[in-house]
Every structure is written in C-alpha cells, then in structure tokens.
A and B are shown apart, each in its own frame.
Chain A
Amino acid sequence: MNDIATKKPCSGATELAAAVRDGHISAARITRDTLDAIEKRDPTYNCFTAVTADRALREADSVDRALASGHDPGPLAGVPYAVKNLFDVAGLVTLAGSKINRDHAPAGNDATAIQRLAAAGAVLVGALNMDEYAYGFTTENTHYGPTRNPHDLARVAGGSSGGSAAAVAAGLVPLTLGSDTNGSIRLPAALCGIYGLKPTYGRLSRAGAAAFVDSLDHVGPFATTVADLAVAYDAMQGADLADPACATRPAAFAAGELERGIAGLRIAVAGDYFATGGTDEAHQAVVEVARALGTTQKVTLPEAARARAAAFVITASEGANLHLADLKKRPDDFDPMIRDRLLAGALVPASWYLQAQRFRRWFRDRVREIFREVDIVLAPVTPCAAPLIGQETMIVGGVEIPTRPNLGIFTQPISFIGLPVVAVPIRPPDALPLGVQVIAAPWREIDALRVARFLEQAGIANGRPVA
C-alpha cells in the first residue's frame, strides 16, 4: 500500500483530489473512510446534523466512473465536504439551525454553491451545526447541542458556522461551506485555528442558502490550507441570476495566483478601533503578522465603532423581519439564545434602519479612499480566544463584558461594507488559536489569498487539523 492509499480523511483537499485524479486512491475509498471517521469521531464534537452517506457514495462512484472512462472529474475530484445546514441539499430539510424549519418540506434542489462544488468533483457528506438562523457567534444551539472546539472540548467553536469550522479543524473533512453576515465564517475559523474566506459581497451566489440579513449575507469556504480555500472559491465563482445580489463580473480565479508572493502589495495595520478592545494576545497576533509581512504602516478606518453599530441595527431589523410570522405564531419554538433578540429587533423603527443603511454608504466611501493608498489591511478577528461553552462574560482590558455580543466587534465593521477577507489562523505557543483578518479592496480576494499563502509558507499561519 503506497503512502497516499493510507491517507486519512483529514488530508488536504487538493492533495486528495490529486491522488484521485492520478489513480492512487478511489473517491469511493476516501468517501467510505470519511463516513467512518464522522461516525466514530463526530459525537465528540457535534459538528454534523445530517450525514448524506448514500448521496456521497453515489457522487464518489460517479467521480470514479468518470476517471475510468477518461474524463476529468474536476479540480476537487473525490474531495469530501460538508455544508452549514442553511444550504439547501436536495432531499434534506434546510434546518438553518432551527426547530421551526423541521416542519418545512425537503429542499427540491441543491444550493448553487453545492451544484458548483459537485461540478468540480467534490462529494457532499453532510450538513453541519450552526447558531439558529445564523444569529450568534458561538454555535451553542439549544435544539441540536453545542459544537465543541477541537482544540479544547470545553470551549465554543465560534459561530454561527461553528460546525463548519470544527469539522475541518477536527480533520473530519478537508473542506466545508459556511455563511458570514457579521463574522460567521471568520470568527469560527479563527477560534478553531483554520482558514476561512469571506469573499466580497456579491462575489459568490447565495441562491439556495437560507437568508439571515440579505443586505449583509455572504457565503464562503473553510479549509486547512490556502490552496484548498482558493480551489473551492474558484469552483464556486460565477454569476447567478437566482441571487439578485450576485455580481455579473467575470470570475477572478485565485488558485494560480497564490505563489506570486506579496511583492507589490501595500500592507497596513488597522489602528485605533482595531488596536484596542481585545486581549493582548489577540493584538499581538496582528503585530506578528505585520512583522512577518514587513509593514509598520497604520491606517485608520474612520468611525469603525459606528460601522459596527450600524451593522448591529441592520442585522436586528432585517433578521427579525424575516421571522416575524413565526415570532407571532410560535415564539416559544425559537432557540431561547436568540428569541428575545429577534423580538426586540422586530421593534426597530424604520428611521434607525434607514440611517444605518445610509451610513453604510458613507463608511464605504471613506474606506474606498484608504484602499487607494494600500492594498491590504490587517486586523484581529476576535477580541479573545475561544470562550468556554456557557460563558456569559469575558475580561478584556480588565473590564468584564458580555461574551456573545462582543465576539464580533472586529469583524462587523468589515462585512458591513462587503470587503473580502481571509481569516488567517495563528497559533501562539501552548495557547488556543487566534485569527488575523487579511482584508483586501472589493473584488481583490486574490490579494488577500496571496498574503495568506505567504504567511502559510513563512510558518506564521498554521491551519493544520487537530487530529
């Protein structure tokens, strides 16, 4: 048996795809190993809410038959992946982390993102846990239980795409999909010590992904390497009339650009708002990344606190409006973790919401000016490492503050204006993982991925799975 035949399911996506395409291992074998690993190990982490074994074996067989007949099954040939359970999977009820949605009919079709990954040869093995309706940063889901952080089982995986991040960090699958409205890809990626990509707003189609806040919703991948992130991102690009926010601009493929290094990129650190409010370790992670990138330049994103506030207001209002009918009919069926927030959000006056949207335009214009001077801005992902499950407050800068509303203070101002970000995992010695946001100008995902790849090669960033 050669080396590749003994690869565990946690091998990287591009590595597995190459092995399948080269005939060293079959997609069916990888799929069976992955399903076995999920069955044996997922109860420890509680990442999966559904396992699509029959479908996975069918898709794997299709990949193997394509190869046998001389056809190219795609760049993700035989790569097992799973999706946050807000993505439509044909034949499954799209739970979006809720109890209420159990009453819905199963999805008739796959979400666009899943269709595109399938077309690239990837094999869907299941759906993943999340905060109910994506309204949270911890994946402490009352209906389906908390997802546990593979680095410390007593701690949260982050959220709302907690199952997506933990499944990759635990080595159950090399690739997952999540969604990010205020930080829900970046934050769990950071707390679980893996890479996450939140593309530019409108870059990837959200069709078939349950909405949370349409103005702010994005979808994107999680992976243990930058190359895997880029290949998945490339496979999902392209216009889609089924998502009105999806851009019609041509795809900008990233996988072939990663080895260009950082020459020519102007990199700065976000100061002021982003330089305070976190633990020393969170800010030190940014310092170390900046040092590795050879930059001392600082920029100020003006009124970032107000941007975070405006994102909070828009989220409260749109999120509640989406669920108003059920809030009226069956409020007790919502997760208590989010019910009162949704009820309060339903009362937000239109003037607050509209002013927040108008402020969004102002903030976008100011930040656009900054991106005339720099190409990349660095900022922390979270103010701290993963909190304990059930932890109500945390100490930051000697001040005790509520945990859950404050985990997204550094991510919310960035997604508010739809900028592309790679969350880069930093692992301080003998400590829990942290993350750094590598933020690029709109539509310049490639720049952020090049920087992430440089940090990976330099040994500064490390997305290796735990097991």
Chain B
Amino acid sequence: MPNAEDPERERRAAIGRMAKTVGLDIAAAHCDGVAANFTRIETLASLVMNFPLSDQPEIGVIFVP
C-alpha cells in the first residue's frame, strides 16, 4: 500500500486531492496550516456524525428559531 507507513503523508495527499476537486491549489507553505485546521474540523464533525438523528430531513433553507 503506498504511504501506508506514513499516515500523515497520506493524509496530506488526500487533502491535496480534495483541494483539486474544488479547484484549489494549496501552496506548500499553507499545507501544514490547512491540514491542522482540517483535522480540527474533522474531529468536531465526528461528534456530529456520530449522533443518531431521525430520518426527518432539515427542510427549507431559512431556519426559524
């Protein structure tokens, strides 16, 4: 498996691939910062993704408190 022994390198490569899909070219100087921030978002997103919700979708784009 390529990069299997270097998960951090594989992770950065994955971030680079995702960036290209949205047309972003992340400069080498920004890679560490982007990776750190993406990891922070991912950690917090996992809290939300792991929470069981009903199948009822959020309806409408205007949120009513």
Residue positions of A touching B, CB distance < 8 A: 200-202, 215, 244-245, 303, 305-306, 308-310, 312-313, 316, 324, 327-328, 331-332, 339-341, 343-348, 351-352, 354-362, 364, 405, 417-419, 442-443
Contacts and interface: CB of A to CB of B under 8 A. Distances in A.
Range, interface on chain B: 20 to 34
Contacts of B45: 309, 313, 348, 352, 355-356
A200 B62 contact: no
B28 to A, nearest CB: 12
B22 A358 contact: no
Contacts of A309: 44-45, 47-48
16 contacts: A309-B45, A313-B41, A313-B44, A316-B41, A324-B22, A331-B27, A340-B30, A340-B34, A340-B37, A344-B41, A346-B22, A347-B24, A358-B58, A360-B63, A362-B53, A443-B65
Interface string B8-49: 000000010011001111110010011111101100110111
A360 B58 contact: yes
Contact of B58 (A201, A357, A417): A357
B42 to A, nearest CB: 8
Contact of A202 (B18, B40, B48, B64): B64
A327 to B, nearest CB: 6
A306 B19 CA distance: 27
Nearest to B23: A328
A272 B65 CA distance: 23
A355 B49 CA distance: 7
Given A313-B48, A343-B34, A358-B53, 14 more contacts: A309-B48, A313-B41, A324-B23, A328-B24, A331-B27, A343-B19, A343-B30, A344-B41, A345-B37, A345-B41, A347-B15, A347-B34, A355-B48, A356-B48
Leading 10 A-B pairs by shortest Cβ distance: A340-B33, A418-B65, A344-B37, A309-B44, A344-B38, A442-B65, A352-B45, A309-B47, A347-B18, A343-B34
B23 A202 contact: no
Contacts of B57: 358
A306 B18 CA distance: 25
